[in-house]
């Protein structure tokens, strides 16, 4: 099973999370990271497992780099039946719309037939911490569970 | 990690200014050039510029960006050299002769002066008139803060309706012990003044829907339950606008029984003049529409939060380095000389906007370096 990380970022935090996940798991599993802006529909294939890392912008909106991806899904309405994914959302609970950015992507993937698995990971930046550590813990659980199903060859 | 096409090539790149734009540029260049020698210089001993000295210290989520950016120095082998001011410690020409590419990311930190409020450049400002950048640097423990000259009294007028103005309102309402807790130095806490009775007037030219502040910033003020918030926003203001809604929400909160602290928002007022002797006395504003009588606010302290510009103290000014051959859309000032962030685009856009900017300029530099190395046949 191939793992495809797609990240939606505004200030770069989600991208460093994606970089760290690649560093951590590369070699053990097939894994790569792409900015959501650059994702094509061909990459959304049931043979890959999608790890969605997405921040929140301003008042609960999507970060800049997630917007073109959401638009692509809205315009093309691809059938994502069979595609499985997990979500890790970044946000700041100082705002009422904490972590809502990732939910905009989650709801689209679900509506198009994809299935979310595992815990919905969330990181709260309100205390000034970085999301990277908790994202690693989250990814370890997801990848361990998913990789077991189809052993890497 | 995917291998960069340029692995093995070792260009040298100097970035002047370790604020967000400079650090993001280093980050993007490092992805393109894993082996390049990248050095970020800053006139301060410590990196991160605006993030360290401009972002409000109680906005921990934004401040935490520094933890992301420090990784480029800790892990990616980008060198940070603090305490070096290009143009003073060394010349720009010297730097350009030693590096394949030089990027100016010096930002804009001078407070824009307000005609009618600030005297001519040569004259001395009256006591009690301060630029917002000066105040936020002081709050953020900037080494050059002159806090002994700053005293905010019981009646402060803040000119401007951007996020910086709202930051100042919030910090002026924050109790001294909380300020100390988030790292505001004692001299700055004393300068902000702790007043049982306090009136803050926030005045600007825009209507609420045109204001530059984010609605979330206004909503954040609701936590000060002892403060009476009022505004002169007309009842007819468009309720669907998020800023209008946020101001209306804040000003409709039940007012405390005997409020000793007040914040009053005034929309649609052009700053006309500041009446002052050696001290500030009265701020006068004219109605943008020309229908209301002048707004006269007696005051002991005025903070202008009307944007940033090049400072008279800047040793290197991007504006003076532009020429007919500059291609500012791509960040090119001259051959091998680039600019990024506010230094390139002017004082608009948030930290994420400067990340996008850094991406564009880093791509320009990479393209130029590749073109140059293939032209000289030295490509790896």
| Interface touch B61/A12, C-beta < 8 Å | no
B363 in A contact zone (CB under 8 Å): no
B64 in A contact zone (CB under 8 Å): yes
Of B24, B216, B356, the CB nearest to A58: B216
B184-188 own/partner pairs: CB under 8 Å, 24+ apart: B184/B57, B184/B139, B184/B140, B184/B141, B185/B141, B185/B147, B187/B145, B187/B147, B187/B148, B188/B138, B188/B139, B188/B141, B188/B145, B188/B147
Of B1, B64, B356, the CB nearest to A129: B64
pLDDT of chain B along its 380 residues, tens only?
A: 444 667 667 899 999 999 999 999 999 999 999 999 999 999 999 999 999 999 999 998 889 889 889 999 998 899 999 999 999 999 999 999 999 999 999 999 999 999 999 988 767 899 999 999 999 999 999 999 999 999 999 999 999 999 999 999 999 999 999 999 999 999 999 999 988 899 999 999 999 999 999 998 999 999 999 999 999 999 988 989 999 999 999 999 988 888 899 999 999 999 999 999 999 999 999 999 999 999 999 999 999 999 999 988 888 988 899 999 999 999 999 999 999 999 999 888 889 889 999 999 999 999 999 998 887 765 44
Contacting residues of A for B242, CB less than 8 Å apart: 59
- Give the predicted TM-score (pTM) of the model: 0.89
pLDDT range class, residue A147, cuts 50, 70, 90:
confident
Cβ under 8 Å to A: B residues 5-34? 24, 27
B3 in A contact zone (CB under 8 Å): no
Contacting residues of A for B63, CB less than 8 Å apart: 128
Q: How far apart are the CA of B347 and the nearest CA of chain A, in angstroms?
A: 18
Sign of CA dihedral B201, B193, A95, A4: positive
Q: How far apart are the CA of A127 and the nearest CA of chain B, in angstroms?
A: 6
Radius of gyration of chain B (CA): 23
**Which are the contacts of B291, defined by CB distance < 8 A and separation ≥ 6?**
none
Interval A21-71: pLDDT, tens: 999 999 999 999 999 999 999 999 999 999 999 999 877 889 999 999 999
pLDDT range class, residue A148, cuts 50, 70, 90:
confident
Contacting residues of B for A96, CB less than 8 Å apart: 219
Cβ under 8 Å to A: B residues 317-346? none
Which pLDDT score is estimated for B349? Answer: 83
Which pLDDT score is estimated for A92? Answer: 84
ipTM, two decimals, is 0.78
Q: How far apart are the CA of A112 and the nearest CA of chain B, in angstroms?
A: 30
B61 in A contact zone (CB under 8 Å): yes
């Amino acid at each position: 099973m191939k793992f495809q990380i797609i990240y939606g970022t505004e200030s770069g935090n989600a991208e460093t999370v994606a970089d760290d996940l690649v560093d951590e798991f590369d070699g053990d599993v097939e894994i790569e990271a792409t900015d959501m802006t650059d994702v094509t529909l061909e990459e959304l294939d049931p043979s890959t497992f999608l790890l969605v890392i997405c921040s929140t912008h301003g008042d609960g909106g999507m970060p800049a780099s997630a917007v073109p991806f959401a638009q692509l899904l809205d315009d093309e309405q691809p059938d994502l039946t069979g595609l499985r994914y997990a979500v890790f959302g970044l946000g700041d609970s100082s705002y009422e719309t904490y972590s809502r950015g990732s939910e905009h992507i989650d709801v689209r993937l679900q509506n198009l037939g994809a299935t979310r698995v595992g815990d919905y990971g969330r990181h709260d930046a309100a205390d000034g911490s970085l999301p990277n550590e908790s994202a690693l813990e989250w990814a370890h659980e997801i990848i361990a569970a998913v990789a077991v199903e189809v052993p890497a060859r | 990690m995917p291998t960069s096409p340029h692995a093995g090539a070792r260009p040298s790149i100097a970035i002047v200014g370790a604020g967000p734009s400079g650090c993001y540029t280093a980050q993007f260049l490092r992805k393109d050039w894993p082996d390049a020698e990248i050095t970020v210089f800053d006139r301060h001993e410590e990196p991160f510029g605006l993030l360290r000295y401009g972002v409000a210290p109680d906005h921990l989520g934004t401040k935490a960006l520094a933890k992301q950016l420090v990784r480029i120095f800790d892990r990616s082998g980008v060198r940070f050299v603090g305490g070096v001011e290009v143009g003073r410690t060394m010349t720009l020409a010297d730097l350009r002769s030693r590096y394949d590419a030089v990027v100016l990311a010096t930002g804009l930190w001078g407070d824009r002066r307000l005609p009618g409020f600030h005297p001519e450049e040569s004259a001395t400002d009256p006591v009690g008139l301060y630029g917002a950048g000066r105040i936020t640097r002081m709050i953020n423990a900037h080494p050059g803060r002159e806090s002994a000259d700053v005293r905010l009294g019981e009646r402060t007028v803040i000119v401007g309706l951007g996020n910086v103005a709202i930051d100042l309102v919030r910090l002026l309402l924050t109790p001294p012990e909380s300020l100390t807790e988030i790292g505001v130095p004692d001299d700055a806490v004393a300068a902000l003044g702790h007043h049982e009775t306090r009136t803050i007037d926030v005045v600007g030219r825009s209507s609420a829907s045109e204001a530059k502040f984010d609605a979330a910033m206004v909503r954040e003020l609701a936590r000060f339950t002892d403060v009476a918030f009022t505004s002169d926003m007309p009842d007819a203001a468009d309720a669907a606008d998020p800023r209008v809604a946020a101001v209306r929400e804040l000003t409709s909160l039940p007012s405390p029984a005997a409020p000793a602290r007040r914040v009053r928002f005034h929309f649609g007022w052009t700053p006309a003049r500041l009446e002052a002797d050696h001290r500030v006395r009265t701020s006068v504003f004219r109605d943008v529409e020309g229908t209301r009588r002048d707004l006269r606010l007696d005051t002991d302290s005025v903070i202008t939060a009307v944007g940033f510009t090049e400072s008279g103290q800047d040793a290197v000014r991007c504006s003076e380095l532009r020429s007919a051959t500059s291609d500012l859309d791509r960040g090119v000032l001259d051959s091998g000389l680039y600019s990024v962030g506010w230094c390139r685009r002017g004082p608009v856009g948030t930290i994420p906007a400067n990340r996008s900017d850094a991406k564009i300029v880093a791509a320009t530099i990479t393209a130029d370096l590749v073109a140059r190395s293939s032209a000289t046949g030295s490509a790896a």
